[in-house]
Amino acid sequence: MNRKLAPAMFALALCFAASLAAAEPRVLAITGRGSVPYTPDYVDLDFAVVTKDPSYAAAQNKNLSSVEAVMTALTQAYSIKKADVKSLDYRLAENIDYEDGHQKSSGYVSTTSLRVRVRDLGTYRAIIVSLLDSGVNSIESISFGVEDPEALREKALVAAYADAERMAKSLAAAAKAGLGRVLTLREAGDARPETTMLAKASLRADAASNGEVISSGSQVYEAAVYVEFELR
């Protein structure tokens, strides 16, 4: 290589590297969160029926009888459609205890987990008590929902972006910088309604107190977005 050209080529390479560095935008990354209040159309009650017996066949039969009693209470007393009762899980397992380091069978446990969708929100507290009285051992969760969740999701995402933009403007101003274009925008996590989970005693107390623990009147749908803004 011509020695006279080497310094010029080196200087050109430095200029090219500097231009690449200058082209890299400064980035401000923000996670925005948004929520939308809504009035639910229905409530999903997840519950479990648990039976025990020294015999696995008896434990299973007892469980089936208890589930049948629960279904009767739901469909006859509260006119719940069978299509609104969903089986979630069934288990039959030996219950093992330990005494002096040795395994000892204490019988069998049969568990059926179900979900009922209650569309008449005026009855769900009474249904909770009826479930507990008819053989249900635990209410696993209570979820209020709407028939069109996508409309809520869209509103929550828009609110989340507005939150991200507001925080970005404040931080950019604090850094004495300008806020440029959006470089990256994506949903962060799963947009979803809040889920209420309470112990059996709390559920019975709520039903008895006419809803001091659980309220269906004001629920919230939450969403989050991740945004990268260019700083100028």
pLDDT in tens, 165-189: 999 999 999 999 999 999 999 999 8
pLDDT of residue 43: 93
Q: Is the pLDDT of residue 8 over 80?
A: no
The model's pTM is 0.63
- Of residues 116 and 7, more confidently modeled: 116
Task: Give the per-residue pLDDT at 144.
Answer: 86
Model confidence band, residue 102 (pLDDT cutoffs 50, 70, 90): confident
pLDDT greater than 80 at residue 91: yes
pLDDT at 201: 47
The CATH number, out of the four listed (3.90.1150.10, 3.90.1200.10, 3.30.70.2970, 3.20.20.450), of the domain defined by the range 42-96+104-145: 3.30.70.2970
Give the mean model confidence (pLDDT) for residues 11-15: 51
Model confidence at 48, pLDDT cuts 50, 70, 90, reads very high
Q: Which CATH architecture has domain 25-41+148-232?
A: 2-Layer Sandwich (3.30)
Domain ranges of the chain: 25-41+148-232, 42-96+104-145
Tell me which of 89 and 205 has the higher pLDDT. 89
Average of per-residue pLDDT values in the chain: 84
- Which residues are CB-neighbours of 231 under 8 A, at least 6 positions away? 25, 26, 27, 28, 172, 175, 177, 178, 179, 180
